[in-house]
């Protein structure tokens, strides 16, 4: 059962923010399709609606939040440029939006980020600064760049404008699936996508349960939601789900998800690889490891979709060739 969404203070992001973001990004973001597959429905025992954010600009949902944030900046501030820190999908999104507006972008990325994401970020004209995610603080590095340049920090998740932008995926999902949903499964790192989707989905389908999906060993959201307080991951690396390795939930995202989400689901790296292979063979799309955790939860039965209408966000498709080949070779 989903816990009640009772709370005394208003949440930091509301439906009106998502609707404003939807208007702001409409001329540049794609309305991504919702995919169905009869084999998946039969296997799950319910109806599964897959929101293909892998087909969003820059290959992930992150374009939504980045555009909403940067488009909403004062023009003088925007002209001074933007700074972001990210393992890759937010990096590419910020770089692409900065290119659209013709402003400089500096992106702090971990040195072990997939090369395809580093290359993609540079492709959009950004200055990439690499760091060691175990020994160095990306926040400190970005803060130094902001202080030196006067640029604006565009956070990866813990920002109302970012959350509102990501939440437009939830509004689209509800408009596309033809009725109320019983649950929506969302990949979770810092929790910005889950927070935005929670606001959007529950505005249209109040009884829907929002489940945050994570890799095993990096289930800070599941633990935090159970404990009622922010819990931190011990490890900072070690999963193939590079997009989902934020050390802990954000302050703003936790406030939203603690109020609206039902809980967390954790899946193994091998289960993620199997989901990637299934999506390739059956849906004919590429899903990166972090983007496949919700689908993995359905395929393994870790989330029981029986007799339910369930939405799943396939959040990104930026994956190295070798990782995709591994998924296909290990799960034929």
pLDDT attached to residue 8: 56
pLDDT attached to residue 200: 98
Domain boundaries, the chain: 15-61+159-330, 62-153
Tell me which of 87, 189, 198, 315 is the catalytic residue. Answer: 315
Q: What is the mean pLDDT of the chain?
A: 95
Burial of 326 (0-12, 13-18, 19+ CB in 10 A): middle
Tell me the C-alpha distance between 254 and 248, whole Å. 10
Find the mean pLDDT for residues 39-58: 98
Which residue in this structure is represented by tokens 């995709």? 324
Bridge-based pairing state of the strands 34-35 and 47-52: antiparallel
Q: 6-15, 88-97, 205-214, 293-302: lowest mean pLDDT where?
A: 6-15
pLDDT attached to residue 9: 76
- Return the CATH number of the domain spanning residue range 62-153: 3.40.50.1100
Tell me the C-alpha distance between 198 and 192, whole Å. 10
| Start-to-end Cα distance in the chain | 36
15-61+159-330 and 62-153: same fold?
yes
pLDDT attached to residue 13: 98
307 is catalytic: no
Task: Dump pLDDT digits (tens) for 266-292.
Answer: 999 999 999 999 999 999 999 999 999
268 is catalytic: no
Find the mean pLDDT for residues 45-49: 98
241 falls in which pLDDT band (50, 70, 90)? very high
Task: Dump pLDDT digits (tens) for 53-69.
Answer: 999 999 999 999 999 99
Residue 1 has pLDDT above 50, yes or no: no
- Return the CATH number of the domain spanning residue range 15-61+159-330: 3.40.50.1100
Tell me the C-alpha distance between 112 and 86, whole Å. 11
Task: Dump pLDDT digits (tens) for 205-223.
Answer: 999 999 999 999 999 999 9
Tell me which of 62, 69, 117, 202 is the catalytic residue. Answer: 62
């Amino acid at each position: 059962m989903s816990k009640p969404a009772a709370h005394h203070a208003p949440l930091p992001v509301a439906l009106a923010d998502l609707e404003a973001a939807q208007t702001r990004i409409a001329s540049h973001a794609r309305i991504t399709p919702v995919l169905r597959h009869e084999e998946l429905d039969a296997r799950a025992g319910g109806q599964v609606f897959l929101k293909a954010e892998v087909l969003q600009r820059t290959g992930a949902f992150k374009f939504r939040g980045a555009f909403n944030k940067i488009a909403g900046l004062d023009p003088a501030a925007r002209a001074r440029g933007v700074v972001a820190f990210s393992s890759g999908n937010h990096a590419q999104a910020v770089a692409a939006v900065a290119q659209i507006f013709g402003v400089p972008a500096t992106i702090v990325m971990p040195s072990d980020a997939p090369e395809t994401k580093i290359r993609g970020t540079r492709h959009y004209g950004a200055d990439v600064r690499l760091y060691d995610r175990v020994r160095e603080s990306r926040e400190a590095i970005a803060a130094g760049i902001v202080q030196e340049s006067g640029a604006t920090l565009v956070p990866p998740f813990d920002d109302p404008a970012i959350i509102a932008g990501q939440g437009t995926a939830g509004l689209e999902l509800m408009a596309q699936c033809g009725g109320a949903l019983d649950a929506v499964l969302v990949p979770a790192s810092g929790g910005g996508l889950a927070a935005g989707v929670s606001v959007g989905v529950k505005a249209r389908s109040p009884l829907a349960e929002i489940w945050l999906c994570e890799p095993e060993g990096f289930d800070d959201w599941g633990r935090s939601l159970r404990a009622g307080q922010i819990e931190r991951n011990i490890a900072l690396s070690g999963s193939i789900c590079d997009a989902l390795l934020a050390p802990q939930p954000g302050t703003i995202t936790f406030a939203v998800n603690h109020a609206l989400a039902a809980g967390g689901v954790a899946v193994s790296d091998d289960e993620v690889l199997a989901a990637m292979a299934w999506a390739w063979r059956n849906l004919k799309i590429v899903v990166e490891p972090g983007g496949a955790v919700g689908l993995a939860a359905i395929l393994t039965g870790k989330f029981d979709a029986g007799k339910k209408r369930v939405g799943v966000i396939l959040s990104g498709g930026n994956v190295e060739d070798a990782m995709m080949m591994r998924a296909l070779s290990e799960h034929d």
